[in-house]
Structure 1
């Protein structure tokens, strides 16, 4: 969807925007269920990148200690616990610039993925940059979806990250799609961006061919010691507007109400669900930031009469639309 149309939608009166988003949501997700995902940091801290929002960067004095890759046994224990508390997607994140085939750590990750994929959940990983061969290996090992967020607009991105480029991100997304994995790709609100930056990011995401299978909308959790530690909380109405526009722009994707939910009231979250959110990260921790407790989430979903999506580990990746160009590799 082009920027001009996204801006027109975003500028609508709030209730008119929600009305349109709700109609799109009900047309594409009539069951009105929410996907429950658990995110585990399997390798925390010590990252060489300089993402301004991230406490895991070795460049910042954030108090996050560098840790080695978790053992497969420990990860399997957490994955089983996630499954037993209702999560249908298990996402594993590692604080690396990227992975390279033939290395010990990549072989360890593939071995972990193979075992996690036997638990009946969808398997998602976020490991930084991917080459084409690494993407194929992850797919063959059992990865359902690859998470790689764009964070913000191409124009604002250099203000947030300098150790890799926007094109690097697009290239990784293309490799994941070419390998047959679904792509989970969204952004972060509250990085000092303008409304136009948010919509330009969404323009890029919505123009992917195929479109992402899921789109996380994160609100910045300012982490001590990072360059963005003093940023103010994102306004709840701004989050709901972005959820609504995303639902219209990427109608068949799961729109994930992601980081920042600890700062949201139940009423704000309910507004976001109405606007088109149908996925959350679920559990006590989201990488290095707190996350609403499991029982609190369950209680709110029950109050709203929302069900939960069943796992679909055999889910096929979205298909390309032949009349449109493929997602860009770069530029």
Structure 2
């Protein structure tokens, strides 16, 4: 028997008057100036990264156990709902129009297509569904369409997340009204190294979007990428930036660069796998209540390194054979890995509690 698809009502955005918009920006700037003192300096984070590995893992595991229940691993699926054609020049991204990577620009997916993908993800065990669109900054009409996707996916009982580029305050509010739980907008790297990676969007642009998302009452998903040629101090700088956000993100994805042919970073030296483990551990120590997510690049890590990452405090993975347009371990491989490690997912834990 065919199943009815969740229906979504059209959403219409109302732009704020120019005066109201100016007042909101001034208020946000004043709040930023009055922010709390730094919780973590770059030097303090770097000192953690330089600890003997086993000492660092022991410390991270203690922090993790103090703040999270045992075996609470969240499975999240990420779908590219609008692929390619992005005007930005982020050196790691195969979806940029600046680079010849073979990724073709596509239109935004229809609601029924997204719902089918979300239902399949839910049935495979995912509890969170993230929708990514390759825009620099969506237009209001784009946000209206994504809001319909959010409502439909929310109707399946999944947590919802979106990553669409830079957002204005009224756009963030529209997504909140539609039921969006999380918005992803990564800082990518430390501010001192950022200009080596992208120059079509400033670091402050990213911070402004995070502020708009937070002000709308949406939880923040924000992390970065390692293995882009950055120095150890830049890795410490990224963690310090994240940990000093007020409050720090509820969700922190740590990505290992996927070196895509045709991108400027395709020939970057791979990060030492144990240095990646260190990033996970320090993210856990500095942001105890955040979900630390193993994100892009898991295919190249292998099972043993992923096991160390879970020991270091990772408690979420992106689940499914693709992350936007790059490869990811397939569902069965992840199920086998979690079973080997004796880790339970949130869905399995909930089912066990009900039994």
TM-score when normalising by structure 1:
0.92
Q: C-alpha separation between the residues in 2 aligned to 1:166 and 1:248?
A: 24
CA distance in 2, matches of 1:198, 1:131: 29
Using the TM superposition, give the Cα deviation of residue 122 of structure 1 relative to its aligned residue in structure 2, in angstroms. Answer: 0.5
Give the CA deviation at 1:106: 2.1
Of residues 146, 149, 152, the one that matches 1:109 is 146
The structural deviation recorded for 1:3 is 1.4
Listed as ranges, the matches of 1:13-32 within 5 Å are: 13-32=52-71
Q: Deviations over 1:84-139 (max 9, x none)?
A: 000010000000001232x2x22111111111111111100000000110001001
The answer to whether the 8 Å contact 2:229/2:269 transfers is no
Distance 1:307 1:32 in 2: 5
Q: Report if aligned partners of 2:143, 2:175 keep a CA contact under 8 Å in 1.
A: no
1:189 matched to 2:206? The reply is no
Give the one of 152, 172, 194 matched to 2:209: 172
Q: Does 1:299 align with 2:333?
A: no
- Greater displacement, 170-179 / 24-33: 24-33
For structure 2, the residue ranges without an aligned partner over 5 or more in a row are 1-39, 349-355
The match for 1:99 is 138
4+ residue segments displaced more than 2 Å: none
Counterpart Cα distance in 1 of 2:269 and 2:119: 36
Offset of 1:230 from its aligned partner?
Answer: 1.0
Cα distance, 1:98–1:279 mapped onto 2, change above 3 Å: same
2:295 is matched with 258
CA displacement at 1:296 relative to structure 2:
0.6
- Give the structure 2 partner of residue 219 of structure 1: 256
Q: TM-score, normalised by structure 2?
A: 0.86
Give SS of 1:119's match: coil
Displacement of 1:31 after TM fit? 2.4
Task: Give distance in 1, aligned partners of 2:266 and 2:206.
Answer: 24
Once the 2 structures are TM-superposed, how far is the Cα of residue 277 of structure 1 from its aligned partner? 0.5
The whole-number CA distance in structure 1 between the counterparts of 2:229 and 2:124 is 36
CA distance in 2, matches of 1:181, 1:107: 17
Q: Say which of 103, 119, 124 aligns to 1:80.
A: 119
The two structures, once aligned, show a CA RMSD in angstroms of: 1.0
Task: Determine which structure has more spread, i.e. the larger CA radius of gyration.
Answer: 2
Report if aligned partners of 1:26, 1:32 keep a CA contact under 8 Å in 2: no
Partner of 1:66: 105
Q: Is the 8 A contact 2:173 2:216 kept in 1?
A: yes
Alignment of 1:1-331 (within 5 A): 1-101=40-140, 103=141, 105-310=142-347
Deviation at 1:310, TM superposition (A): 4.0
1: CA distance, partners of 2:49 / 2:274: 11
How far apart in 2 are the matches of 1:263 and 1:121?
29
The equivalent residue for 2:4 is none
- The offset of 1:231, in angstroms, is 1.5
Q: Deviations over 1:11-33 (max 9, x none)?
A: 11110000000000000113221
Shift of 1:233: 2.3
SS of the equivalent of 1:48 reads coil
Bigger helix share: 2
Instruction: Work out the number of aligned pairs and report it.
Output: 309
